[in-house]
């Protein structure tokens, strides 16, 4: 907004603006004119944080940087591990300034010349452990570690043993229950375009189809009984395909993840908030669900009409990259300086609030 009469008072006694008008991009401003910018695009301090960060500016402000740093669970000279909240994009396009890769340069450099780089991704709607490399050497090692190619053995036995322990474990709440309590899904995936010619979708590859496919392997384990039509399961991807876990759950197991409207839309069309009573499968007696005092049911849990995605990267096990980079650089296995540092690192991330509510309702509050 521009005021053509800078000498006039802009505010009346009642607090109302006067002599204001919109300006067009090609309009020439007069000397002394004032421009008023809407509050929505002004960088301001945000007093409270929830699950997402603001998107009102094109560059990260101090509050966004502080927020992202609070997500850091661990950092050393080689890696940074964060607990990503749901709805925070990992890889952003030009309009998405507040993605993890865009913010890392400013927020997570911690004195390094460059910010850390992503070595694996999580979907925007999912949550949990996210790993980033801090140096070229650590990024290369991590990409190699999470790649699907056959890995050549190193002369360093301790490094080989540590690499064998590398594991990612996800917890998910699915609609229905797998037929088997545990198993391995070996179901290649293909990418197809929908009828609009723009939207991409991942599907199980047709053995006789002409579309290119990629190998996709997932181990799964049922964590408990089905309650009110839903079951908690653990997923361990052995390959890293886009939407692998969501497609394997929905199409290979026939149990879409709660809140997955992309691959489980046909089930969510009939979604109902969790009822208060169900029958215990072994005894035939009814469960009694007790809601915690003050529980907010509109937080995307199973009590919500529109639940959020219940997929969380809970556990990550990997070699101590910082230690082994130092050892491998010195080509020695007998370095007392590094003997006290562990060969393997293990991280466990707490679930986001909507999954905690669902977990409590379906476990701790069952009597």
Tokens read off for 340: 């006290």
User: What percent of the chain shows pLDDT beyond 90?
Assistant: 33
* Structure tokens that stand for 253 in this block: 């197991």
| Segment 178-236, tens digit of pLDDT | 999 999 999 999 988 877 767 788 889 887 766 788 899 999 999 988 888 889 999 99
List pLDDT tens digits, range 307-353.
999 999 999 999 999 998 877 766 545 555 556 788 999 999 999 99
The token pair at 72 is 């850091």
123 given a catalytic annotation:
yes
pLDDT band at residue 152 using 50, 70 and 90 as cut-offs: low
pLDDT at 248 over 70: yes
| DSSP sequence for 248-302 | IIIIISS-PBTT-TTTSHHHHTT--PPPSEEE-TTT-PEEEB-PPTT--S-SSST
Closest-CA residue to 315 (of 177, 128, 172, 174): 128
Predicted model pTM: 0.75
Q: Which residues of 26-50 are buried (b: 16+ CB within 10 A; e: fewer)?
A: eeeeeeeeeeeeeeeeeeeeeeeee
Predicted confidence at residue 8, as pLDDT, reads 45
Confidence of residue 10 (pLDDT cuts 50, 70, 90): very low
* Superfamily grouping for domain 40-331+339-364: Pseudouridine synthase (3.30.2350.10)
76, 101, 123, 148: which one is catalytic?
A: 123
């Amino acid at each position: 907004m521009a005021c053509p009469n800078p000498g006039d008072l802009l505010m009346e006694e009642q607090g109302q603006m006067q002599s204001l008008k919109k300006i067009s991009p090609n309009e020439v401003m007069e000397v002394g004119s004032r421009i008023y910018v809407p509050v929505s695009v002004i960088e301001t301090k945000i007093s409270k944080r929830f699950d997402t960060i603001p998107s009102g500016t094109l560059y990260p402000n101090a509050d966004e940087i502080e927020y992202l740093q609070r997500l850091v669970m661990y950092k050393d000279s080689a890696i940074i591990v964060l607990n990503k909240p749901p709805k925070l994009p990992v890889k952003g396009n030009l309009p998405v300034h507040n993605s993890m890769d865009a913010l890392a340069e400013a927020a997570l450099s911690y004195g390094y010349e460059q910010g850390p780089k992503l070595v694996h991704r999580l979907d925007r709607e999912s949550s949990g452990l996210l790993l980033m490399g801090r140096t070229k050497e650590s990024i290369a090692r991590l990409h190699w570690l999470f790649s699907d190619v056959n890995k050549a053995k190193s002369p360093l036995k301790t490094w080989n043993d540590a690499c064998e322990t590398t594991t990612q474990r996800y917890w998910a709440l699915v609609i229905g229950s797998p037929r088997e309590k545990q198993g391995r899904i070996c179901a290649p995936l293909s990418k197809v375009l929908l009828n609009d010619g723009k939207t991409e979708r991942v599907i199980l590859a047709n053995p006789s189809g002409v579309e290119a496919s990629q190998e996709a392997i997932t181990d799964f384990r049922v964590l408990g009984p089905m309650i009110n039509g839903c079951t908690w399961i653990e997923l361990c991807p052995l390959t890293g395909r886009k939407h692998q876990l969501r497609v394997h759950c929905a199409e290979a197991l026939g149990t879409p993840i709660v809140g997955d409207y992309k691959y489980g839309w046909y089930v969510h069309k009939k979604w109902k908030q969790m009822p208060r009573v169900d029958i215990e499968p072994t005894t035939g007696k009814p469960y009694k669900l007790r809601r915690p005092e003050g529980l907010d049911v509109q937080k995307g849990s199973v009590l919500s009409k529109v639940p959020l995605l219940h997929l969380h990267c809970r556990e990550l096990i990997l070699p101590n990259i910082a230690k082994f980079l130092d050892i491998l650089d010195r080509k020695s296995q007998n370095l007392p300086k590094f003997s006290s540092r562990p060969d393997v690192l293990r991280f466990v991330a707490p679930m986001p609030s909507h999954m905690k509510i669902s977990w409590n309702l379906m476990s701790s509050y069952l009597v």
